[in-house]
Chain A
Amino acid sequence: MTIAFKPDETYRDDFTFRNSPAAIRRFPFPFGEDVYRYAVNIEPHVRGGPTAAYDNLFDIDEHYIAECRERALVLAHDPKRCQALPHMMAAQWDTLELLMENLSTDYPEHFSLVRDGYAWHWTNRALGIEQHFVFGDAGTLPCEPLEYIGRQMQGDLTLQDQREDNLFMDAGMVTCQADWSLEFDLGMKFHEWHGPVPLAHEQGVFDRALKFLLNLQLGRPVRRLNWTMTINPRMDTSPEQYPQWGPDRTTITPENVGSRVHLRVELQSLFRLPRSNAILFGIRCYLISLEELATIPKWSRRLHRVLQTLPPELVEYKGLSRFRDTAIAWLAQRDDGAPTSVGTAPD
């Protein structure tokens, strides 16, 4: 099926990003029940799920062209958003192969990959890109493989080397992050880059998660959802750009909360890579305004109830302190107290 892209949307300045009714219905809403519960919530990343966002291992939607342009803008301003340590070249090629194989198989009208041994021919019709290159020879691409394919993907990518019974974040392309920095985290091990997360360390969450991931198997990827809230449909909420977006959080009023406060959901996926034995972490970000969300009454009811039960440490960690009460008041007007159905899918 051909996707009707919306190439002129923006994620900055005039913020013209909007979700179509179809995009709203495919949103990966993260809350399965009416109270907040912290969980590692890892499940097999298989095709199919509560909404169409789960139909493919790497999801492309109507925002594809606009988001790729936004990523290029971020990289032009700050090239360090894409970095790879020298020992990660095999993992870069593994990533390029995995993404090209999946995109060309799942979206043949937009992408194609023709392979003759190591001579590869890649076509990205959505972005008007055509490239002949030699798999394994970085000199035949305009930039390193991770950046090359990362510029043609929605969502951030990080690559973790596995050694010393640990995972090290040794490469990544990160332009649409929820307030963390690749430049800061590069080279860190698992517990180090998760250092700022509250509550979970004490519960042993990261010990269990690391143990699980060290045995992640080829061809058996897993996924989890993470979420926060962002003012305006702004992809780049990085620490580097904090002066641009931090102050927005003080500008929320009962009049603008519905259009400006966005639920930000990350569909995070983890893949074992074959040649490098590294792990690819995909962080696919979805944004939806409260007004858009409220077109699905189940979701606005549930978000209202979840926000009320969120522990104070997490309100602080997710940066919601300045506008949570305003958002709850707005959502309260749309919560009639009716029971919500089980699961995350729209009614």
Chain B
Amino acid sequence: MTPAATIPVVVREVRPVTPLIRRFTLAREDGLPLPAFSAGAHVVVVMPGAARTLRNPYSLMGTSADLSTYDIAVRLSETSRGGSRFMHEAVAPGSKLAITPPVNLFPLDKLARRHLLLCGGVGITPVSAHVRELVHGGVPFEVHCGARSIEHATLALELRAIAPDAVAIHLDTPGPTMDVEAILAEQPLGTHLYVCGPGGMIENVIATARAAGWPESHIHWERFTAPPAGKPFEVTLSRSGKRITVPPEMSLLEAIEAAGVDAPFLCRGGACGQCETTVLALDGTLLHHDVYLSADQKAAGDRIMPCVSRADCRTLVLDR
């Protein structure tokens, strides 16, 4: 599948939420309603950066009850490759951007009889949509939000106002921090677990749940890996007959797009598998950073997820 047609949007409002997070309210440029979506969905925001087009996925925070606008929250990344910095520094009310239609890689399980949602930092954004859906659903749920301190917990406080009995907030300062083992131990059998937050938190929650015997079908997470920087490398695109160089700060997918070659994508974070590309020839090592391919598939070296993965190589030929 080629990339989805994007929707031109205009920024209606920019609000600081915490010292690091800003909330952006987006409306369609033509004034029509935005597409309906399900809780957990994200859009990819397309930003006209000075040097290159930037594309980052951001979760939608509201519900389909009001489709005149979408709300997203963007945390300024200390290691920003340009996207979050652009959103924080170059975007103001009236700015024009484009978004892809919503895609949901982090939905609620509709058969769950109880939901447990754990989030940390800006990982609260999809959970904001989940909670807004769950308060109407009649299925029991429990939310635990981790934040550095109270001034970083604005979105968590918002959620607690919506569902006071279901939302707990855990602050690193003054503490105590979230005790994942204790929270999981209290859950009745059949509970579905969802986690979104920093990589370390997700790994810890998944490992704790597995160790406690939670079935894989009841553990859900969303982790968008930012494409890591690396050494530059050269790639031959066999179908389009192009030879490109991937600079240190650019992902392989971005370099392919910059060369004018249409490539499929959905999440741009190594999670969905949509951009999977066949490796036709390789003299060197693939540096896999995705969570989509299995260990065996990564070891085979015959395919790569160009949205996050790179190569340390003399030759790399891709079927693209």
Contacts and interface: CB of A to CB of B under 8 A. Distances in A.
A163 B36 contact: no
Most chain B beta carbons < 10 A, residue from A164, A211, A220, A275: A275
B86 interface: no
B4 A274 contact: no
B38 A276 contact: yes
Interface size class of A (residues with CB under 8 A): 10 to 19
Determine chain B's interface SS by DSSP, over half rule.
Answer: loop
A161 B4 CA distance: 22
Interface in A210-238: 211, 215, 217-220
Contact of A162 (B35, B64, B107, B266): B107
A219 B38 contact: no
A220 to B, nearest CB: 6
Nearest to A166: B217
A276 B137 CA distance: 13
Given A164-B217, A274-B102, A218 B35 contact: yes
A217 B36 contact: no
B4 A217 contact: yes
B110 A87 contact: yes
Contact of A275 (B5, B37, B273, B274): B37
A289 B5 CA distance: 41
B101 interface: yes
A277 interface: yes
Interface in B260-292: 266, 272-274
B114 to A, nearest CB: 14
Contact of B104 (A88, A90, A94, A277): A277
A163 B111 contact: yes
Interface string B87-114: 0000000000000011110010111000
Nearest to A136: B65
A159 B34 CA distance: 23
Contacts of B50: none
A215 B267 CA distance: 10
A275 B111 CA distance: 16
Contacts of A87: 110-111
Nearest to A274: B36
A87 B47 CA distance: 37
Interface in B34-88: 35-38, 40-41, 64
Nearest to B101: A218
A215 B36 contact: no
Nearest to B107: A277
B1 interface: yes
B64 A219 contact: no
B154 to A, nearest CB: 28
Nearest to B67: A274
A215 B273 CA distance: 9
Contacts of B274: 215
B216 to A, nearest CB: 9
Interface string A264-308: 000000000011110000000000000000000000000000000
A121 to B, nearest CB: 18
B101 A275 contact: no
B38 A163 contact: no
Most chain A beta carbons < 10 A, residue from B36, B101, B107, B110: B110
Given A161-B110, A211-B273, A275-B64, A217 B38 contact: no
A137 to B, nearest CB: 13
Contact of B38 (A164, A211, A220, A275): A275
A163 B272 contact: no
Interface string B7-45: 000000000000000000000000000011110110000
B35 A163 contact: no
Given A215-B272, A275-B64, 15 more contacts: A88-B110, A90-B38, A163-B110, A215-B274, A217-B1, A217-B101, A217-B266, A219-B35, A219-B101, A220-B1, A220-B101, A274-B102, A275-B36, A276-B110, A277-B40
Interface of A: 87-88, 90, 94, 161-164, 211, 215, 217-220, 274-277
Nearest 10 interchain pairs by C-beta: A274-B36, A87-B110, A277-B38, A218-B101, A277-B104, A277-B107, A275-B36, A164-B217, A215-B274, A219-B101
Interface of B: 1, 4-5, 35-38, 40-41, 64, 101-104, 107, 109-111, 217, 266, 272-274
21 contacts: A87-B111, A94-B36, A163-B107, A163-B109, A164-B217, A215-B103, A217-B103, A218-B35, A218-B102, A219-B5, A219-B101, A220-B4, A274-B38, A274-B64, A274-B102, A275-B37, A275-B38, A275-B64, A276-B110, A277-B38, A277-B41
